Amino acid sequence: MNTLEVYNYSRVGEQMEKIFSYNEDIDKTAYMNWRTRQHQPIHDMMIIADGYMKAAIMLAQDCLQDNGDKKADIVVFPMLFSANHAIELYLKSINWSLNMLLNMKESFCGGHDIRQIWNTVKKRMIGFETDKEQRKQFKEMTKELDDYISELYDKIDKDHNANAKMKNMDFSRYPFNADDEYHFYIENYGNEVVDLEMFVEIFKKIGDNLNCIAGYYEEMATFVPDYDREKE
C-alpha cells in the first residue's frame, strides 16, 4: 500500500467539514463579505487589492523569517502575482473614480497590463487635478510604483511579447506565454533573483500610498450620482 492509499484510508468514515463553512473558533473563520459592500464596486476592488498586497508581503516576510528550506524560490511566483494584481486593482479603482469625477461613462481600461493602466491613470489625474501642488503630491506618492513598473517592464520587454500592444502579465502564473514561448526567467541561463527585504519595503510603500490615493478619489466619487450602483 502506497502513501496516498494510507492517507485516504485514514479518512474512511470521517465527515470532513466544507471549506465554505464556519469554524467553531470565530478567529479561524474568514468573512468574505464583511468588508465589501453591495453595489459599491470601486470600494470592493480596493478591499480585494488590499488583500492581495497583504498576502504578497506576508509571504515574503515568512520567507525572511525562515528560508532554510528555500521556499522563497517557489513562493516568489504567487508573491509577484499577488503584488501585481493588487497594483492592477488599485489602479483600476483609481481610474474608475477619476472617470466618474471627469463625467466619463467608461469604468476603467481593461486588460492586465499595469503599465498601460498606470499611464491612463496619470492622464486622468492630470485631467482632474488642476492644482500643481496636488499633482506634485501625487507624483511623490507614486514614485516607488513608477520605479517598480519601469524595472518590471525592463524584464518583460525582453520577453517574446516585447512588441505586443498589451502585456499579458502572465509571467508569474505560467512558465510560458500564450504562444508556448518561455518567459525571461526560464530562458535566462543566469540567475533571476528577487531581494526579499527590498520586496517588503517597496511594496509596503506602494500598497500604503495606492490605498491612500484610491480612498481619496473614491470618497470624492461617492458624491457623484451614479456612484452607488451595480456594475453594468
Q: What digits encode the pLDDT tens for the residues 153-211?
A: 998 876 555 555 556 678 999 998 888 888 889 988 899 999 999 999 999 999 999 99
pLDDT band at 131 (very low <50, low <70, confident <90, very high): very high
In a domain, 9, yes or no: no
Instruction: Please state the domain count of the chain.
Output: 1
- Residue 18 in any domain: the answer is no
Domain range for 126 is 39-221
Name the one residue in this structure whose C-alpha cell is 506618492: 141
> 25 in a domain, yes or no?
no
CB distance 86 to 53 below 8 Å: yes
Please report the pLDDT score of residue 34 as a whole number: 93
Q: Is residue 48 part of a domain?
A: yes
Residue 126 has pLDDT above 50, yes or no: yes
Burial 101-121 (b: 16+ CB within 10 A, else e): beeeeebbbeebbbbbbbebb
27 found inside a domain: no
Instruction: Report the pLDDT value the prediction gives residue 199, as an integer from 0 to 100.
Output: 98
CA 45 to chain centre: 10
**How sure is the predictor about 111, in pLDDT bands with cuts at 50, 70 and 90?**
confident
- Side chain identity, residue 72: A
Asked if the structure places residue 24 within a domain, the reply is no
Q: Is residue 21 part of a domain?
A: no
Could you say which DSSP state residue 103 is in? Answer: T
- Report the pLDDT value the prediction gives residue 232, as an integer from 0 to 100: 47
Q: What is the Rg, in whole angstroms, of the alpha carbon atoms belonging to the chain?
A: 21
Under the banding of pLDDT at 50, 70 and 90, the label for residue 119 is very high
Q: Is residue 16 part of a domain?
A: no
Q: Which residues pair with 176 in a beta bridge?
A: 182
Nine-digit cell at 124?
Answer: 486622468
Q: Is 54 exposed, middle or buried, given 0-12, 13-18 or 19+ CB atoms closer than 10 A? A: middle
* pLDDT per position as a tens digit, 22-69: 999 999 999 999 999 998 999 999 999 999 999 999 999 999 999 999
